[in-house]
Amino acid sequence: MKNILLVILVLISFLKVNAQTFSSPNLNTIYYSNLEKNTNNFTFTLTHSLSQIIKSNTSVSCNTIGIHHKNSYYRVFDLYGSHFNLNSDWSIQEVQFGIGIAEAGIDTLQDIKLVLYIMSSYDGETINPDSLSQKGDTINFQVNNNETGTIKTINIEPAESIPFGNVLVVEILVPDGSLNGNKFFIGSNDYGETDNTYIKASYCGIEAPIDVADIMYPDMNLVLNIRGEYNAATPEILGFTIDGQYGDTKILNNPEYTVDIVLPADTALTNLTPSIIVPAGFFVTPASGNEVDFSLGAVEYTVSNEFAKIAQTWQVNVENAGPDIYKLEVTGQEGETNINFDNHTISLQMPSGTDLTSISPKIYVYDGFTVSPASESPQDFSSGPVQYIVTHESLPLTQDWQVSITNIAKKYSFKTFFNIFPNPVHETLHITGSDYNKIEIVDISGTKVLASLKSNINISNLRKGIYFLRIFYDGGIYVEKIILM
């Protein structure tokens, strides 16, 4: 009988609410700025409401001629489901909800309550009261008559953390207003929603939350939003590959956000279909597997999560292989090989005393290219750089490379003989200690940039960077790295 009474009471007593427009909260896409790149905390609004307009004749309540009995309205936020797709704890800071009618019978204020719950799962159709666990204390607040047709914000202090994997349920509880003659209709519209609006009203026989569509009000779409902070997973490109590419993709995430791929020299770049991997909960645009034209230069890819809360763009460069030496190594070398692709120079160092007249570098070039002199053929590096020429087998692509291989002395062999200071140096370098024949300074490519017989050398006219000081004396050559600042 009470179920029937609910429908009758709602039909005959619902009061009109003048439609009012509320500026939509910032359901924002957050792009990393230069100031945000080192933090993953983001505050934004989540909602199932497709419009923030409060529209008349769309809200229901259990009431007698407009004077309301106890009503509870519920909204479920499956934060980690497919709609919101969050990847870590959500910290709720505000609840925003619409007020359709607020008319207090005594004074201008009436009491409302906000209750937060968590539950472990949600089937998209029902709220099981037995599965609800209250989160934090009940928040008591008041609604004024002049708030009719507005969106009211309730601050949650301190914020409540919703652990990863849990479902958040928000209840707006309207106590029985019959003793005071209160009228309250929660704000709603019929412009659509992405989850159900639920109501509980014991006086009218609804003892557990039920979808308003099941009591013949499918067009009541509750206006309710939550705002909070999300310790977000970082939008990244974890993998980016194209069939036929050379080697591994060079992916630089924060702070560069670039991707570089090299394809064979004769591959057309106009219709390529990259395979892309991003973290769980994120998607990439253009999508993985979509045809993209890379022939005109870098293409922008954006990684964002569902609901567009967090996003980051990458510049993806796909280039044809050129006449490059992309790797060169010598057995027994000290340190890494320095390859300058802009100047087409390569340098490396060998231990002190190494015979530089017969060095056989192993040289790596892309398929379809040849190098002359050939890889691993003996060459004399004792007199300076050796020229290598890389040429494509069929295309008109060629490039000269200058390769320098030098010896570096072990410091401990001669450290007692010489004192070089200051290092790093700004202007004048001082050398004290044993007698020497001459001094040379070479850059990292092995090119001599200065020679002197003095013990105080002004090097301020050189470019700032790393150099090697060579001291020639009767017992050999002493070498020390210096830094010009």
Whether 198 contacts 113, CB under 8 Å: no
Residues 6+ apart with CB under 8 A from 107: none
Question: 96, 147 in Cβ contact below 8 A?
Answer: no
φ, ψ of residue 315 to 5 degrees: the values are: -100, 120
Q: Which fold has domain 327-408?
A: Immunoglobulin-like (2.60.40)
Average pLDDT over residues 165-181: 96
Amino acid 19: pLDDT: 30
Look up residue 363 and give its two tokens: 């040289």
Question: Judging by DSSP bridges, how do beta strands 456-458 and 428-433 pair with one another?
Answer: antiparallel
CA dist 60 and 73 (Å) reads: 10
- Highest average pLDDT, of 1-10, 175-184, 452-461, comes from 175-184
Note the pLDDT of residue 233: 66
* Interval 85-106: pLDDT, tens: 777 788 999 999 999 999 999 9
More confident residue, 476 or 389: 389
Reported as a pLDDT band with limits 50, 70 and 90, residue 330 is very high
Q: Where are the domains of the chain?
A: 2-231, 242-320, 327-408, 411-484
* CB burial string 357-383: b at 16+ within 10 A, e below: eebebebebbebbebebebeeebebee
pLDDT of residue 119: 94
Residue 416 is predicted with a pLDDT of 46
Residue with tokens 């209250």: 134
Q: Let me know if the fold of 242-320 is the same as that of 411-484.
A: yes
pLDDT at residue number 199: 97
Pairwise CA distance, residues 310 & 44, whole Å: 10
From 407, 373, 375, select the one nearest 478 (Cα to Cα). 407
What pLDDT, in 10s, does the model give residues 275-298?
A: 999 876 688 999 999 999 999 999
Q: Tell whether the model's pLDDT for residue 82 goes beyond 80.
A: no
Q: For domain 411-484, is the CATH number 2.60.40.10?
A: yes
DSSP assigned state of 8: H
pTM for this entry: 0.51
Q: Report the CATH architecture of 242-320.
A: Sandwich (2.60)
State yes or no: pLDDT of 12 exceeds 90.
no
Tokens of 250: 């060079």
Q: Rounded CA gap, 152 and 381, in Å?
A: 79
Question: Higher-confidence residue: 259 or 235?
Answer: 259
Per the model's pLDDT, the better-predicted residue between 203 and 23 turns out to be 203
Helix residue ranges per DSSP H, 126-265: none
In this structure, are residues 8 and 1 in contact, taking their beta carbons and an 8 Å threshold?
Answer: no
Tens of pLDDT, residue by residue over 369-428, are 999 999 999 999 999 999 999 999 999 999 999 999 998 855 444 444 788 899 999 999
